[in-house]
Amino acid sequence: MSTIKVVEIIGTSKKDWENAAKNAVSEAGETIDGITGIEVVGQTAKVEKNKISEFRTTIKVAFKVKSKR
C-alpha cells in the first residue's frame, strides 16, 4: 500500500506551455523523489508590448510518500 501526495507548482518557459510544464517537472525532481505523474491544471502567459514574453503552466505533481515500514 502506498500514499500519494500532490503539490501544485508553476513552471515557466520563453518557448511554449509544453516546455513550461517540462521545466516545472525537471525542477521539482531536484527536491521531490518518486514523481509518479502530473496533471496540467492551467496555462497563462505574461505579455509585454503586445507579445507573449513568458509561458506559464500550472501543474499538480504526484509523488509517493516515503514510508518507514
pLDDT digits (tens, 9 = 90+) for 47-61: 999 999 999 999 999
Closest Cα to residue 45, out of 19, 6, 7? 19
Q: Which range of residues forms the domain containing residue 49?
A: 4-64
Assess if residue 69 is contained within a domain: no
Q: What is the pLDDT of residues 16-40, one digit of tens each?
A: 999 999 999 999 999 999 999 999 9
d(CA 64, CA 56): 25
CATH of the domain at 30: 3.30.1660.10
The whole-model pTM stands at 0.88
Q: In total, how many domains does the chain have?
A: 1
Tell me the residue ranges of DSSP E strands in 14-68.
35-48, 51-64
Assess if residue 28 is contained within a domain: yes
CA distance to 18, 24, 40, per residue, from 46 (Å)? 15, 17, 18
